[in-house]
Amino acid sequence: MNEHILECQKISKKFGRKQILQDVSLTLDGGDILAFIGPNGAGKTTTIKLILGLQSIDKGTVVINGYDVKKDFVNAIKRVGAIVENPDHYMYMSGYKNLKLIANLYDNISEERIKEVVKITGLSKRINDKVSKYSLGMRQRLGIASALLHKPNLLILDEPTNGLDPEGIKELRELLVKLAKEENMAILISSHNLSELESFCNKVCIIQAGKIVETTKVDQLKHENEKDTYIIELSSTKKLKSIFPENSVVIDDTHVKVSASKEEIAHIIKEIVAKEVAIYEVKRQEISLEEAFLKKTGGNIID
């Protein structure tokens, strides 16, 4: 059985008498993009700092690529790239010179590797411009390029979409999907932008008050209820009320909203056909990641 790239087992952290994290466990594999979400003060950034060795772990273990962060930090962190909050750059220098400066901190990063990460992050046309002329989205991509120089297989991003316009967010999303798919990279991303995370993350981990509430696939979280909501478009909703469940809502003369399981909706459709009423569309309404989050946390919003 293959090892997880990242495995956190029951990690806990106190600041003074205050328990910040308690028995936090999560795993991440190659190709996964994990949305790490929770209200402000839930413990997201603290968890990330423990994973990266920026703060000490009181209890539990963090293992990266088979190495324990507490016992063998150098090997554990060797293939990790990270951006915690906003990446810092020398604004008066070009993007290339910034990358060259960071490359000098590592052993054996070739000129070819610098060119490779520039291409991966889509900065080829502007890499020789001063960073002061970059948009916020380009600076974020330059930060990710810096984090990729040493060929990590784990990328950790804390609030990477802060301050980005829609175009910058789109560029970042496409880059992360590309890295997960083409580089088989494991990516952990913490963000308040749930609608954006929903569009490209395949896994979600919800943390609340320092404890993990749920870890699952995004699709499973959104569809874990036994019954889904369906909008059915018909030639007419008249004389069909007896067919629909009690909690159904007749929207107008041609549309009805029904809460039903797959088996129940199939039976309803069969009965409608038997009444010789035309069915134009049956559409399942998905709840959003934000709605699923609110259900799990009892309405504890991300602010």
Supply the DSSP symbol for 128. T
pLDDT value at residue 303: 47
The CA-to-CA distance between both ends of the chain, in Å, stands at 40
pLDDT value at residue 300: 58
Question: Which whole number is the average pLDDT over 21-33?
Answer: 94
Q: Among residues 120, 179, 123, 119, which one has the least CA distance to residue 155?
A: 179
Q: Using the predicted structure, report yes or no on whether residue 263 has a pLDDT greater than 80.
A: yes
Question: Which whole number is the average pLDDT over 109-124?
Answer: 91
pLDDT value at residue 2: 58
Q: Given pLDDT bands bounded at 50, 70 and 90, which one contains residue 192? A: confident
Q: Among residues 82, 89, 75, which one has the least CA distance to residue 50?
A: 82
The answer to whether the pTM exceeds 0.75 is yes
pLDDT value at residue 161: 78
Q: Using the predicted structure, report yes or no on whether residue 265 has a pLDDT greater than 80.
A: yes
- Mean pLDDT score of the chain: 87
Task: Note the pLDDT tens digit of each residue in 45-62.
Answer: 999 999 999 999 999 999
Contact call for residues 200 and 223 (beta carbons, < 8 A): no
Measured in degrees and rounded to the nearest 5, phi and psi for residue 8 equal: -105, 125
Contact call for residues 290 and 39 (beta carbons, < 8 A): no
pLDDT value at residue 165: 79
Q: Among residues 146, 144, 126, which one has the least CA distance to residue 135?
A: 126
The helix or strand, by DSSP H or E, that contains position 7, with its residue range, turns out to be strand 6-15
Q: How many residues does the chain have?
A: 303
pLDDT value at residue 22: 94
pLDDT value at residue 203: 92
Task: Note the pLDDT tens digit of each residue in 229-246.
Answer: 888 888 888 878 788 887
pLDDT value at residue 1: 43
Q: Highest mean pLDDT: which of 84-88, 125-129, 285-289?
A: 125-129
Rounded Cα distance between 239 and 147, Å, is 63
